[in-house]
Amino acid sequence: MLNISDFNNNLLDWYQANKRDLPWRRTNDPYRIWLSEVMLQQTQVITVIPYFEKFITNYPSLDALADADERRLLKDWEGLGYYNRIRNFHAAVKEVQSTYGSEVPNNPESFFKLKGVGPYIGGAVQSIAFNNLLAAVDGNVLRVMARLNLDYRDMTKASVQKSIKHEIESIMPLEAGDFNQALMELGATICTPRAPKCIMCPVQEHCEAYRAGEVAELPVKKKAKAKKEIYYNVYFILNDKDEIILREQQGALLQGMYELPKYDIDTSVESIEEALGLTLDHPNIHVGSGKHVFTHQVWYMEGYVLYTKDAHPDFIALNEVEELPMSKAMQKIYRQLEA
């Protein structure tokens, strides 16, 4: 049986003495705390730090970000991935600006109605910024709780995650923000997926998996589905004016980013000519290959140069390409042309 008082004291004392010095921990500004949590979703801390610092320099207030041009935001987000995060955040801060006088609502019910705010973001921001007693359950926290409780349930199930959220809220002290961050910090630095540092763990005496010698078996996660593999030919279509065709992408994955025309590898140049309404010089010139791994799919790309003398509305001057937001996947193949 968990001794709640001892557990909480051990965890919080350890956190105060050992927490990492991260830029979003040096502020009480709910906007900046919210921004950091949006960036940290599915992204490592070391990757987020320079992006966070760039954003608070370029957009130091909620109003500054709400008033920003979406293309500029996407360009600044370029390389961080999961671009729906910044689009949803932009929409949400615009609503905060218009509905709540640019003040992030200190009210979970109102905050959870904002675009892109789910259980984790809502719990993290409301607890860290306002000390509301809500859990923030991420992968680190699920791992810690599975080991503490010798819990062999499948941690990928929403019902299990909801159960753990309720459990954490039932033992949460008044220092809700520090408590949530302490659990996450423990998972990130001590109770790691592989080679956990159990000998250094501040709550080792409370851990049932450690007592049973079963730490390495937890947490249980169902095997991920194999990623879908997609093969593309990507075309650098150039003219004699030092221009290249780039198109604004549609669809949920990379909406608003710019891409080179890409087609299934079995698509003929003649079909591309018809699709684009262009006459293209043959043959193709191969310039390199690229691969990019998304959450649910993998792109394999082969890059080819084609030339045309025709006009097209998607032609952009080569010296302006750097100003446009481009996904990391497309950047990988575009660098082949630069090289």
Q: Where are the domains of the chain?
A: 4-217, 228-338
52-72 tens-digit pLDDT: 999 999 999 999 999 999 999
H/E stretch holding 283 reads: strand 280-293
**pLDDT above 70 coverage of the chain, percent:** 98
Mean pLDDT of 124-139: 98
77-106 tens-digit pLDDT: 998 988 999 999 999 999 999 999 999 999
Q: Is the dihedral of CA 185, 111, 327, 230 positive or negative?
A: positive
Mean pLDDT of 118-137: 98
Mean pLDDT of 16-44: 96
Residues taking part in catalysis: 37
Counting beta carbons within 10 angstroms of the beta carbon of residue 329, is it exposed (0 to 12), middle (13 to 18) or buried (19 or more)?
buried
- Whether 4-217 shares its CATH topology with 228-338 is answered no
DSSP helix/strand/coil, 253: coil
180-222 tens-digit pLDDT: 999 999 999 999 999 999 999 999 999 999 999 999 999 998 8
Residues in the chain: 339
Q: CATH 3.90.79.10: does it fit domain 228-338?
A: yes
Residue 50: predicted pLDDT: 97
Using alpha carbons only, how large is the chain's radius of gyration in Å?
24
pLDDT for 338 beyond 90? no
C-alpha span between 101 and 95 (Å, rounded): 9
Superfamily of domain 4-217: Hypothetical protein; domain 2 (1.10.340.30)
Residue 252: predicted pLDDT: 63
Strands 247-248 and 258-259: antiparallel
Mean pLDDT of 71-75: 95
312-324 tens-digit pLDDT: 999 999 999 989 9
Predicted structure pTM score: 0.88
Residue 186: predicted pLDDT: 98
51 vs 79 pLDDT, higher one: 51
DSSP helix/strand/coil, 180: helix
Mean pLDDT of 228-244: 93
Q: Which residues pair with 292 in a beta bridge?
A: 299
pLDDT for 283 beyond 70? no
Indicate the pLDDT class of residue 282, thresholds 50, 70 and 90: low
pLDDT for 108 beyond 90? yes
What does the mean pLDDT of the chain come to?
94
pLDDT for 298 beyond 80? yes
pLDDT for 250 beyond 80? no
Q: Which residues pair with 262 in a beta bridge?
A: 234
Residue 109: predicted pLDDT: 97
Specify the range with the lowest mean pLDDT, choosing from 56-70, 97-111, 169-183, 269-283: 269-283
